[in-house]
Chain A
C-alpha cells in the first residue's frame, strides 16, 4: 500500500515526533510513503478569506498526488478535511472543475479527480485493518488508560467523509487505542473541540476551550491524552503551561500521538518514536513499560 504523505504546515516543524512515529509504524505495517517536495499548505487558512483561492490551493496539492498516481495520506486533520472536501466537490461539480483548471494552468497543473484522501488513522482502520494490526501487537499496553481525542476535522464535515465514523458517537480511534491493549476511557465532553481554530484570533478564548478538556480528562486519572492532529496537540501540549497559568490549575497531563502508542505496542524501540520531543514529560509512562 503506497500513499503520498501530506505533511501540511504544522507537522514538519512542530510535530516531528508524530511524523517520526507515523513513518515507523507505517513501515512496520507495510505502508509505503512518497514525499512530494512541491506539496504546500492545504489551503485551510484561506477558506475564511477567499473560497476560490482555497479550492485552488487544495486542487494544486491534489493534482501533485495525481501525477504520482497515489492516494494521499494526511497526518493533520484539518488538511484531511480540506483536501477531502475539495476533492469531493471538484469530482462532483464539472463546472467548478473546469473553472479551477483554467486558473490552475498558471502553475502548469491540472486536476483530474483520480485519487482519494485519507487520514493516517483512517488508513490504519480501513486499509490496514484492525485484525492485521492486532496480530502484530507484541507488547500490549495492558495497564494503561488513555483518553482519546478525536478532534473536529477527522470526523467533520461528516458529509465529505462518507460517514465512515459517527461524528456524534465516534468509535474508530477508541478501537485503535484498544488494539494496543490499553483501555480507552470515557470522559465528559469527549467530542469537544480543542479551540485551535481561533488561537490566532482570540487566544484567551481558545485556551479556555482547551482547558475544559484537560480538566475533564484530569479528573479521570487517565495516563495520557491520545490524539491524531498536530494542531490539537499545539493546544493541549505546547500550550499546556500557558493554560495552567491562565486557569491557575496544574494539569501536567502527557499528550501522545496515536502512532507513538501503537509503535510501542508493535515493539518499535521507544527512542525511535520521538518521545524525547514530547513537551509534557512521559518518563513515567515509559518506565512502566520497562
Chain B
C-alpha cells in the first residue's frame, strides 16, 4: 500500500539533476526496459519500469533504502532500446549515488572501496601473483594505491570505506 502522506513530490527533480538521469520524466511506462532485462528474467525483485514509477510517484525512502536498486547488471540493454531515450543504466547509477549519500551503500561496494584504497585495484597483486606472471614471461606489476587514496580523499569517498555499510 502506498502512503500518500509519505510521498515526496520533489524526489523526481532531485534525481533528474543528476548527470545521466535528465530524461527520466519522459518515461511513459512502455516496459521495453523490463521486457529485455536479463536480471528481471531471473529475479522478480528487479524491475526497472517499476523503479522508475516509484521514483515518479515520490517513494523516496522505499527506493533509496531498497536492495533492488543494486541489482542492475549495467548491461545497457534497456538504455539502448528505450524509445524515450531514458538512460536507464545511468539513471540507476544516479539513484545509487544518492542512496550512498544518504547512508545506504551496499556492503559489496564498501568492500570494493576498501580494496581500491588498499591496492588501487580490486584484486591485490601478491608476490605469488608476480611469481606466476614472471613464470609465464609476463612483466611484474608493482601495485600502488597512493593516487587512488588521494583521489578518494579529494571527493570524500574514502570515508565511505570506513563505515560498516548499511544496517541490514
Interface residues of A (CB under 8 A from B): 7-10, 12-14, 16, 19-20, 23, 35, 37-38, 40-41, 45-53, 56-57, 60, 103-104, 106-107, 109, 152-153, 156-158, 167-168, 191-193, 195-198, 200-202, 205-206, 208-209, 212, 274
B97 is contacted by which of A41, A51, A152 (Cβ under 8 Å)?
A51
Report if A152-B105 is in contact (Cβ < 8 Å); known contacts: A41-B120, A56-B155.
no
Chain B residues with CB under 8 A of A35: 139
Q: Is the CB of A49 within 8 A of B80?
A: no
**Whose C-beta in chain B lies nearest to the C-beta of A33?**
B139
Asked if B76 CB lies within 8 Å of chain A CBs, one says yes
Report the Cα distance A195→B157, complex, angstroms: 26
Number of interface residues of B (CB under 8 A): 60
Q: Do the beta carbons of A57 and B100 come within 8 Å of each other? A: no
**With an 8 A cutoff between CB atoms, is B77 at the interface?**
yes
Would A197 and B75 count as touching, CB distance under 8 A?
Answer: yes
Instruction: Please tell me if the beta carbons of B100 and A49 are within 8 angstroms of each other in the complex.
Output: yes
Given A45-B112, A156-B76, also A16-B136 (CB < 8 A): yes
Since A200-B108, A201-B70 are in contact, a sample of 9 more A-B pairs with Cβ atoms closer than 8 Å, ordered by chain A residue number, is A40-B116, A48-B97, A50-B155, A53-B155, A107-B147, A156-B80, A157-B87, A202-B70, A205-B43
Is B166 an interface residue when CB atoms closer than 8 A count as contact? no
Give a binary string over B75-103; 1 marks a CB under 8 Å from any A CB, 0 the rest.
11101100000010100011011001000
Main secondary structure of the interface of B (DSSP, over half): helix
A104 to B151, CA, bound (A): 7
B96–A209 touching, CB < 8 Å: no
Contacts known (A19-B138, A49-B97); A198 close to B71, Cβ less than 8 A:
yes
CA distance A52 to B42 in the complex (A): 32
User: How many angstroms between the C-alpha atoms of A14 and B121 in the bound complex?
Assistant: 13
Q: Does B150 count as interface, using CB distance less than 8 angstroms? A: yes
With contacts A12-B133, A23-B138, A40-B147 taken as known, whether A152 is within 8 angstroms of B152 at the C-beta atoms is no
Q: Tell me if A168 and B120 are in contact (CB < 8 A).
A: no
B83 to chain A, nearest CB (A): 14
Q: Are B75 and A48 in contact (CB under 8 A)?
A: no
Cβ contact within 8 Å between A12 and B141:
yes
Chain B residues engaging chain A, CB cutoff 8 angstroms: 18-20, 38-39, 41-43, 70-77, 79-80, 87, 89, 93-94, 96-97, 100, 105-106, 108-109, 111-113, 116, 120-125, 129, 132-133, 136-139, 141-142, 144-145, 147-148, 150-155, 157, 160
| Alpha-carbon distance A103/B151, docked complex (angstroms) | 8
* A103–B164 alpha-carbon span in the complex (Å): 27
Q: Which residues of A contact B150 (CB under 8 A)?
A: 106-107
- A148 → chain B closest CB, angstroms: 17
What residues of chain B lie closer than 8 Å to A212, measured between beta carbons? 41-42
B13 to chain A, nearest CB (A): 18
Name A20's contact: one of B96, B113, B136 (CB within 8 Å): B136
Q: List A contacts of B39 (CB < 8 A).
A: 195, 198, 205, 209
A-B contact pairs, 12 of them (CB 8 A): A9-B123, A12-B138, A16-B138, A20-B136, A49-B96, A103-B154, A103-B155, A156-B76, A156-B80, A157-B80, A158-B80, A205-B42
- The answer to whether A195 and B106 touch (CB under 8 A), given A51-B97, A157-B76, A167-B80, is no
Contact B71 A157 (CB under 8 A): no
Known: A12-B141, A45-B112, A46-B116. A53 touches B76 (CB 8 A): no
Q: Most A CB atoms within 10 A — which of B113, B124, B136?
A: B136
Task: State whether B160 touches A49 (Cβ < 8 A).
Answer: yes
Q: Which residues of B contact A8 (CB under 8 A)?
A: 121
From B132, which residue of chain A is reached at the shortest CB distance?
A16
Q: For B71, what are the chain A residues with a Cβ–Cβ distance below 8 Å?
A: 198, 201-202, 205
The answer to whether A51 touches B148 (Cβ under 8 A) is no
Nearest chain B CB to A271's CB is how many angstroms away? 10
